[in-house]
Amino acid sequence: MQISGNGQERGWGLFPYGWTGEVLQFVIEVWDDLRIPKAARLEPRITKLLTGAIVERYEREGRDWFCVPEAPDWNDEGKEVSRTDIRLYPPGPKRRNVSLIMEGKRLNTPASNAAAYVGVGGMMCFIPQGTVPAKYAVGLPCGAMLGYVMDGNLARAHVVVCKAIKAKRSLLLLSADGEYQTSQLLQADGWHGETRHRFPDGQFTIYHLLLAVRWN
C-alpha cells in the first residue's frame, strides 16, 4: 500500500516523506490485533498496552523509528510542564523535538466523553491560546488523537466528536475548511480523519484515530 506523505509541511524539523502516514497506519494495524483485558478499562492502562504492542511489533519488523511512552517536557527551571501519552520519533538523527505525539482519550464510557476529547486534556493540548503556547508539538506540523471507543460504537463516537469539535471551533482555531474530514494519509473507512488548525505561523493538522476497543 502506498502512503501519502507530509515531509515538507511548514519547513520545520522535517519528518521523512511518507513517515506520518506510515506510522498512523501502523498504529491502526497494531490496534486491530490488540485485545484489552476487561480489568484495564482506564485510559492510562489502555495506552500502556497499546504502546507495548507498538514497540513489540516495530522491533520484530525491524522498523528504523522508535516509540517513547509518557514522555515529559520541562521548563528552564526543570519543572515538568506536560507529559505526552505516546511519542514516536522518525528515523535518522534522534532530535528530541522532532516527534509525532499521540494523546489518548476514552469515548463512549458509556457517556460520550467528547468534551474531554476536545478539552484541555485532549485536543487543546496541541492548541496555543493567545500568547500561551501549546502544551504539545510546538514547532511541529501535526499531532494525533487516539479515541478509545469503549463500547465499539464507532458511528456514535464519530458523530459526538465531530459535534464537539464544531462547537469548539473558535478555541480550537479551526481553519475555514478545518472541521473533521477524511485524511489523505489514512485508508478511507469513514471514521478516522483529520482537523486543520490555523496557527499564527501556519497550519497545524491533528489526525484522529477512532479505535474500537476489543475486549479480551
Alpha carbon distance 38, 25 (integer Å): 25
Give this prediction's pTM.
0.90
Q: For 66-125, how does the pLDDT look when each residue is reduced to its tens digit (9 = 90+)?
A: 888 777 777 677 776 678 899 998 887 656 668 899 999 999 999 999 999 999 999 999
* Contact present, 157 and 147 (Cβ < 8 Å): yes
Whether 11 has a pLDDT exceeding 60, the answer reads no
Mean pLDDT (whole number) for 141-149? 96
Q: What is the DSSP letter of 110?
A: S
Least confident stretch, 1-10, 116-125, 187-196: 1-10
| Average pLDDT, rounded, for the chain | 88
What's the grid cell of residue 135? 502544551
Q: Judging by beta carbons within 10 Å of its beta carbon (0-12, 13-18, 19+), is residue 108 exposed, middle or buried?
A: buried
Packing angle between helix 43-61 and helix 19-32, nearest 10 degrees?
A: 110
Mean pLDDT (whole number) for 164-171? 97
**Per-residue model confidence (pLDDT) at position 116:** 98
Beta bridge partners of 174: 197
Whether 44 has a pLDDT exceeding 80, the answer reads yes
Q: For 25-38, how does the pLDDT look when each residue is reduced to its tens digit (9 = 90+)?
A: 999 999 999 999 99
* Contact present, 205 and 21 (Cβ < 8 Å): no
